[in-house]
Structure 1
Amino acid sequence: MKIFSPLKTLSNYSFSTFRSDLPAGLSVFLVALPLCLGIALASGAPLFSGLVAGMIGGLVIGLLSGSEVSVSGPAAGLAVIVADSISNLGEFNVFLTAVVLAGIIQLGLGFLKAGKFSGYFPDSVIRGLLVAIGLVIILKQIPHALGRDNDFEGEFEFSQLADGENTISEIYRAIVTASTGAVIISIASFLLLFIWGKAAKKGIGFFKNFPGALAVVILGIGLNELFKNFMPAWYMGTSAHQHMVQIPKIEAGKSIFSIFYFPDFTALTNPKVYITGITIAIVASLETLLNLEAADKLDVQKRVSSPDQEMVAQGLGNLISGLIGGLPVTSVIVRTSANVYGGGKTRVSSIVHGLFLTIAVFLGAPLLNLIPLACLAALLITVGYKLANPEVFKKTFREGINQFIPFVVTVIGIVFTDLLIGIGIGLVVGIVFVLYTNFQATFRVVRDGNKVLIKLQKDLYFLIKPQLKQALRDLQPGDQVLVDGTHAPFIDHDIYNILLDFEETAKTQHIKYELKNISTHKRSLRTHARTREVTISE
């Protein structure tokens, strides 16, 4: 495994590529900043732990990732698990020990090449994941765009932990209690993004090179400061700044290390720590592998990521994150989407976003705490719409019911439960449809008068028992039947027994019944073809 192969990207790097990666990294940073803080809040963890995870996701995993466009950070899908784990273990420092263990386990999985498991995710489920995340982003950000910030940024569950509402009722409350200042900032941000995008497509230099996301943030800060001075009732900085970005500050007279947390390794004697570490490693790995598949679908250049390399990168990232007080890290589709739609071409955009997070934490907190969440909501809703474009529904529907149903089930499952449950439901339905489709053409029945050919066309497993039994029941007295297994290298033992047992039925129904090349093992095919032909006549 070439763990450091990503360095090839940097060795051949050009300034022209950096001109795309820099604004993309800035866009991801602006999206990631409130999400890191919100996920930490939803997890019941210190705010700074979310920012640490974001920095590690960019600087460490961004450098070593198996993907050029995937972006990692604290994951909303793990928030409930993290909150429960902290509660069960009693202290955040003890929980960090479990995060370190999870990182070590992921490293082992990466070196064992367990990442190839990602190849078993059905495309319909991955597409459903992308659309569902887009819809969830839109639904969850509408309240923030209207000035209702009771719910944590980055919480994707339908039933909300923060205020006891759900996604739908939260939107209703937001409409009823809409803030004039937030609505103005949101509408102005949407208009600016629309105009900026049109101008950039026309090739106008300034709009093409200057990131629209940064322009929106500048506009949001400017409008809010105007409200502060001229329309105080519209100002978003009241209510203990709950409507603003809130980066924790280092208190005067204290060192930088005062805001870090470190693992308590004396807790290694506690069995709960190991159970928590294993749980985080498994869930984080599955979420990462699924998001990695989704990232490949978003990648404009259609590059194929290395899941094994990604597992090593994630393992190292979680190991370091746990050591310095960060939340568990996974590949996250919201930030990855913002990266792709922001024009990111290589892993440098992810690294840049990590650098911006680091600068923000240690140098830029006073300025960044002036950003209203309403303008960031406009950025996220725009990303959400691109993910949940109606054309995706039309395209999937045209591909057939076997693709459309798992796709829709995944979307509905994620929107109305949470990310992990929705993906689980989608995977079960998707796999069922894959199996159903695969077994539709395992054999075919050709009838010419009373001559019947039952042709086995590929491997036969026990799941086709109902179809095969029905085909045999449909045979009529006087039929001359040949069951040809020449093109079926493997026949499940249950299927083999059904074919043999029908010999007795054929006798009683006056059916001439012949088996050709029927065997349960590949190596015995030819021998069986020569020695096993049964003909039953009246």
Structure 2
Amino acid sequence: MFKYIKNDLPASIVVFFVALPLCLGIALASGAPLFSGLIAGIIGGILVGSISGSKIGVSGPAAGLAAVVLTAIGTLGGYENFLVSVVLGGFIQLIFGFLKAGIIGYYFPSSVIKGMLTGIGIIIILKQIPHFFGYDADPEGDFAFFQVDGENTFSEIINTINNISLGSTLIGVIGLGILLLWSSILSKKGKIFQLVQGPLVAVVAGIIYFFVTASNSKFGISASHLVNVPVPDNLDSFIGQFSFPNFSAITNPDIWVIAFTIALVASLETLLCVEATDKLDPHKNVTPTNRELLAQGTGNIISGLIGGLPITQVIVRSSANIQSGGRSKMSAIIHGFFLLISVILIPTLLNKIPLSVLAAILLTVGYKLAKPALFKKMYELGWKQFIPFTVTVLGIVFIDLLYGIGLGLLVGIIVILMKSYQNSHFLHIEDKSNGKHKIKMTLAEEVTFFNKGAILKELDSLPRDTFLEINLMTTRYLDHDIIEILDDFTFKAKERNIDIKLVSKRGIIENPSSFIEFFELRPKSSISLS
């Protein structure tokens, strides 16, 4: 596990600085105690990271569940009641894992997964612009288009124009300059610049800037523009930040409905993130998806038991890990320990970090996910790839993550149906022979009910006095719906003086009276011709 520690340690620092504001912001957007987001981040890093089979995935509280949590807390009458749903949701995820439901993640088209990564990159950039300029009305981690503060993504940016904080903007620009200098020049100059990551230097610069300008009313940074980690007075107050589930509410049907909702949404987000991170991984590791569901379920059980938010694998932290050179699960585990140690030992120091510096770090993460060159590449791949990709991006930016993915998947399915409709058969028309057109129809390798419309259209358009050869030699699977169409056509063919020759691995037959009888099929069945 320590083989790649020289890669994992610097990466874990970057992931820590990305995760810290998101853990707090997602808790705030969820209407939950701030400490609950940190608990989920710690459990997601240490526990889930240890159990998971993913080498570069990072887990923690998910922005996609913030709206669910916010509604659920109100519906269930309190946070302690909601925690029961989190625990039950974890057990349901364990069941999903044992039932090997992880295979679902492999059924999402590549264009949709790439659209998800790009859409998240764009939304990160758009959401961080206000924080970069010191306007923090909307909490970090609120990635939905319609925000918890009543604004939307673009109106929030417009509002920023009249609410720019000079001090936050200045250190944000300095931090961004450090990050760009580090990644483009200094990282190539020596090993010290690879070991000490640019985000760490930017954060240290931000803390120094805060102390230097603390008494300056023009260039100083107010507390509202800084990280806000809960600071306990003593051990008792620290322990008092933990919440525990009220299991006496387990008989409430709403508890179970929300538990299933958490399990389904968290599992889907995790599987999509696994697919996406495996695509981003330069070393092309393959994550065992069923094991991942078991790890996430275990994490949610423990998180719920001690007052944490629901956990999923999350693409923002995972992509930051990959971009920073993380090689093994140690980077995720170490980042969890950093969260734990820092909230215990140095919460006051953490509260001196300007949010604009962390926004600069997230801006670089977002840009690397949504590079303009990717749009050109997807366009060059053709409309079958570009349209689902674009719809996914727009859905994520203008609605939210799951809606965007759902719309992209729907468009991808429509594209598949269209191509299936078009590619069900091949027609070869020859010159007239003995006064009849000779037409050869070769059916595809697999012909299903999706192809009914295309085949029926071709058969109905055949002219009178035609010789039709239907070739099934390469067909391995023929749906009964298609056989019924061919069977019905035998009656029409006699009326239009169309002769039929059927060529298949089962034999050759001239003018079959019944296709169903030829294949000796019962109704509502299909046939394998291989």
Into which bin does the TM-score normalised by the smaller protein fall?
Answer: over 0.9
1:234 alignment partner AA: F
Give TM-score, length-normalised by structure 2. Answer: 0.93
Structure 1 position 426, deviation (Å): 1.2
> Which residue pairs with 1:227 in the alignment?
213
Distance in 1 between the 2:61 and 2:419 partners? 37
**Residue 288 in structure 1 maps to residue 288 in structure 2:** no
- The answer on whether the counterparts of 2:41 and 2:339 sit within 8 Å (CA) in structure 1 is yes
1:408 offset after TM fit, Å? 0.2
Report the counterpart of residue 518 of structure 2 in structure 1: none
Residue 114 of structure 1 aligns with an amino acid whose one-letter code is A
How many Å apart are 1:533 and its aligned residue?
5.3
Q: 2:134 matched to 1:181?
A: no
**Match of residue 522 from structure 2:** none
Per the TM alignment, residue 535 of structure 1 is displaced from its structure 2 partner at its CA by: 7.5
Provide the C-alpha distance between the structure 2 equivalents of 1:179 and 1:312, rounded to a whole number of angstroms. Answer: 45
1:122 paired with 2:109, answer yes
Deviation string 1:3-29 (CA, Å, 9 cap, x unpaired) is: xxxxxxx2xx32xx1111011001001
Match of 2:502, SS? strand
1:104 aligns with 2:82: no
Alignment match of 2:225 (pick from 222, 243, 254): 243
Checking the alignment, whether the CA contact within 8 Å between 2:502 and 2:509 is kept in structure 1 is no
| Structure 1 residue aligned with 2:204 | 218
Q: Does 1:134 align with 2:121?
A: yes
Q: Offset of 1:465 from its aligned partner?
A: 1.8
Distance, in Å, in 2 between the alignment partners of 1:373 and 1:198 is 23
**Partner letter of residue 233 of structure 1?**
K
Alignment partners' CA distance in 2, 1:456 and 1:65: 45
The residue aligned with 2:335 is: 353
Q: 2:500 aligns with which of 513, 529, 533?
A: 513
Question: Does the 8 Å CA contact 1:52/1:325 hold for their aligned counterparts?
Answer: yes
76-85 or 439-448, larger mean C-alpha shift: 439-448
Aligned match of 1:534: 512
Q: Provide the rounded CA distance (Å) in 1 between the counterparts of 2:363 and 2:421.
A: 41
Residue in structure 1 matched with residue 403 of structure 2 by the alignment: 421
The match for 2:182 is 196
In structure 2, what is the equivalent of residue 447 of structure 1?
429
Query: Which is further off, 501-510 or 74-83?
Result: 501-510
Aligned pair partner of 1:329 in 307, 311, 317: 311
Q: Distance in 2 between matches of 1:257 and 1:532?
A: 85
Does residue 365 (structure 1) correspond to residue 347 (structure 2)? The answer is: yes
How many pairs are equivalent? 509
Q: Give the Cα separation in 1 of the matches to 2:422 and 2:465.
A: 28
* Aligned match for 1:402, one of 360, 381, 384: 384
2:465 matches 1:459: no
Equivalent runs, 1:234-273 vs 2, <5 Å: 234-237=219-222, 241-252=223-234, 254-273=236-255
Deviation at 1:253, TM superposition (A): 6.7
Identity of aligned residues (%): 48
Worse-matched range after superposition: 355-364 or 377-386: 355-364
Alpha-carbon distance in structure 2 between the residues aligned to 1:227 and 1:201: 30
Aligned equivalents of 2:377, 2:385: Cα separation in 1: 10
1:299 aligns with: 281
Following superposition, the deviation at residue 515 of structure 1 comes to: 2.9
In structure 2, C-alpha distance between the alignment counterparts of 1:304 and 1:124, rounded to whole Å: 19
Aligned AA for 1:436?
M
Cα 1:194/1:351, change in 2 over 3 Å: same
Amino acid at match of 1:146: F
Q: Please list every run of 5 or more consecutive structure 2 residues that lacks an aligned counterpart in the other structure.
A: 432-436, 515-530
- On the 8 A contact 2:502/2:508 being kept in 1, the answer is no
For residues 408 and 221 of structure 1, the distance between their equivalents in structure 2, rounded to whole angstroms, comes to 40
The one-character-per-residue Cα deviations of 1:34-61 (angstroms, maximum 9, x if unpaired) are 0000000111101000000000000011
C-alpha distance in structure 1 between counterparts of 2:485 and 2:359, whole Å: 61
Q: Is the 8 A contact 1:37 1:153 kept in 2?
A: yes
Name 1:430's counterpart in structure 2: 412
